[in-house]
């Protein structure tokens, strides 16, 4: 482990696919959130934010002391810059903390319309060396997201040779393409990943066909599960955080603007606890962190390219997620007290678990389930609004999960 090169505790940067996920990220420990508008980001099918939503998001984050970064990292075409300038003019009064960009033309436009705004360089820029960082710094950027293909040694060298803030992904989905710049989706069904409309063909099951026998597909591998050429594992660097802190990374970013509330809450609470504890003691790695991250829906975890190993990053078994737990309810509060918004079915007598910020969690039994009007229920179901017995410390924004029965 090298000597720590930056003196500030690294930032926890969480995804916010919509306003409720933003509130969850803030409550569960994010230092900053990143989100997109309905244009010029790379998640066309995330909830995304209208201008009105952005105003609300700005108020929430300002009150909580949390930074807000807006993604403008799509690759633009010539006819789109007028609309970009119009959007930037509307955004100026919100005083967002930074814009995330990849296109030099977008950066130049921001410098013209809103010259005081901080600019962060997206992973889409494929920044693999300190020389690239210097190019972006001279162009006016403040921070750079490191290419996911870099090793720990590469990151150490980066930090020693650049004056820019460095950000890296530590958790979430990975892409088969170099830093996410993929053409497969556009080639197969005319949906461009580089313009926010990826159809994720890397997750599909592929077969081989011979031209004169198109109705007789063959598996390329002799495996009953199918053939998944491009299906990347998910990234999880929770155990490598001490090395990344020591290397000089300023911000740890979690992927997942299209992921669930449960994912956002779980990832935020774990990485918040890990950053805080490891900052004080780099040896204080808690096995509970990895155990908890295994309880969110994910593909098999991997350390990506960080350790410089030659292990396959593709998961050939199938494209399905590992799911050991279901998110079954979201705790709300009104003038009459706490109630639960149902998200998945659970039954009277089921063993459930409540989770909250600061690593709070407690198992309890589903009991006294009632409608808001007081009618007894035998189960909670999606979209049900109900009251039930909860642990004493339960509060607005806590989540309820249930372990899935083991398959026989």
Q: Per-residue confidence at 300, pLDDT binned at 50, 70, 90?
A: confident
Let me know whether 270 and 340 are in one domain. no
Same domain, 257 and 112: yes
Q: What is the mean pLDDT of residues 63-82?
A: 94
Whether 80 and 206 share a structural domain:
no
Which two three-digit tokens encode residue 194? 């580089």
Are 89 and 171 in a shared domain?
yes
Once rounded to an integer, what is the mean pLDDT over residues 219-226? 60
CA–CA gap between residue 339 and residue 373 (Å, rounded): 11
Q: Which two tokens stand for residue 44?
A: 């066309």
For 206, the domain range is: 185-193+201-229
pLDDT at 1: 42
Q: Is residue 146 situated within a structural domain?
A: yes
Whole-angstrom distance, CA of residue 373 vs CA of residue 327? 24
pTM of the entire predicted model? 0.88
In this structure, are 362 and 267 located in the same domain? no
Tell me the pLDDT band of 349, cut-offs 50, 70 and 90: very high
Q: Please report the DSSP string for 199-222 in residue order.
A: --GGGS---EEETTEEEEEE-SSS
User: What single-letter DSSP state applies at residue 125?
Assistant: G
Domain count, the chain: 3
Percent of the chain residues past pLDDT 90, beyond the cut? 71
Six-digit token string for 257: 């603007």
Q: What is the mean pLDDT of the segment spanning 143-172? A: 95
We report the CATH number of the domain holding residue 24 as 3.20.20.70
In degrees, rounded to 5, the angle at the alpha carbon of residue 52 between the alpha carbons of residues 34 and 171 is: 15
Rounded to 5, what percent of the chain is helix, strand, coil? 30, 25, 45
Mean pLDDT of 99-127: 95
Query: Phi and psi of 386, rounded to 5°?
Result: -145, 165
58 & 106 share domain: yes
- CA 289 remoteness from chain centre: 17
Query: Using an 8 Å Cβ cutoff, are 398 and 331 in contact?
Result: yes
Instruction: Kindly tell me if the per-residue pLDDT of 115 is higher than 50.
Output: yes
Q: Is residue 79 part of a domain?
A: yes
If asked whether residues 280 and 381 sit together in one domain, one would say no
Task: Give residue 408's pLDDT band: very low, low, confident or very high (50, 70, 90).
Answer: low
The stretch 62-66 carries a mean pLDDT of 98
CB atoms within 10 A of CB 168: 26
User: How many whole angstroms separate alpha carbon 80 and alpha carbon 72?
Assistant: 12
pLDDT of residue 26 exceeding 80: yes
358-373 average pLDDT score: 97
**Predicted local confidence at residue 85, as pLDDT:** 96
């Amino acid at each position: 482990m090298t000597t720590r090169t930056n003196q500030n505790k690294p930032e926890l940067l969480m995804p916010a696919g919509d306003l409720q996920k933003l509130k969850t990220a803030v409550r569960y420990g994010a230092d900053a959130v990143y989100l997109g508008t309905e244009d010029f980001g790379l998640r066309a099918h995330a909830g995304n934010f209208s201008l009105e939503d952005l105003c609300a998001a700005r108020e929430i984050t300002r009150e909580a002391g949390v930074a807000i970064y807006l993604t403008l990292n799509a690759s633009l075409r010539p006819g789109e810059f007028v609309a970009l300038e119009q959007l930037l003019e509307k955004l100026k009064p919100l005083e967002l903390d930074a814009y995330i960009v990849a296109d030099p033309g977008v950066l130049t436009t921001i410098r013209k319309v809103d010259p005081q705004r901080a600019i962060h360089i997206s992973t889409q820029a494929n920044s693999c060396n300190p020389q690239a960082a210097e190019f972006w710094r001279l162009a006016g950027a403040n921070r750079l997201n490191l290419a996911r293909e870099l090793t720990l040694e590469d990151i150490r060298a980066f930090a020693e040779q650049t004056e820019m803030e460095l950000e890296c992904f530590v958790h979430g989905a990975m892409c088969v393409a170099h830093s996410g710049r993929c053409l497969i989706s556009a080639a197969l069904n005319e949906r461009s990943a580089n313009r926010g409309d990826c159809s994720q063909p890397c997750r599909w099951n592929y077969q081989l066909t011979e031209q004169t026998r198109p109705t007789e597909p063959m598996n390329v591998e002799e495996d009953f599960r199918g053939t998944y050429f491009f299906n990347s594992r998910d990234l999880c660097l929770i155990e490598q955080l001490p090395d990344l802190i020591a290397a000089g990374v300023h911000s740890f970013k979690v992927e997942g603007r299209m992921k669930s509330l449960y994912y956002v809450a779980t990832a935020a609470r774990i990485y918040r606890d890990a950053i805080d504890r490891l900052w004080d003691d780099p040896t204080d790695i808690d096995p509970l962190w990895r155990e908890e991250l295994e309880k969110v829906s994910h593909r098999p975890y991997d350390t990506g390219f960080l350790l410089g190993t030659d292990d396959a990053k593709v998961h050939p078994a199938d494209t399905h997620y590992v799911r050991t737990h279901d998110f079954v309810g979201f705790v709300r509060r009104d003038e009459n007290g706490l109630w639960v918004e149902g998200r998945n079915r659970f039954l009277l007598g089921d063993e459930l678990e409540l989770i909250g910020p600061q690593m709070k969690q407690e198992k309890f039994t589903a009991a006294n389930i009632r409608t808001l009007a007081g009618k007894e229920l035998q189960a909670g179901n999606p979209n049900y609004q109900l009251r039930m017995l909860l642990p004493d410390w339960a509060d607005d924004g806590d989540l309820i999960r249930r372990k899935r029965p083991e398959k026989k």
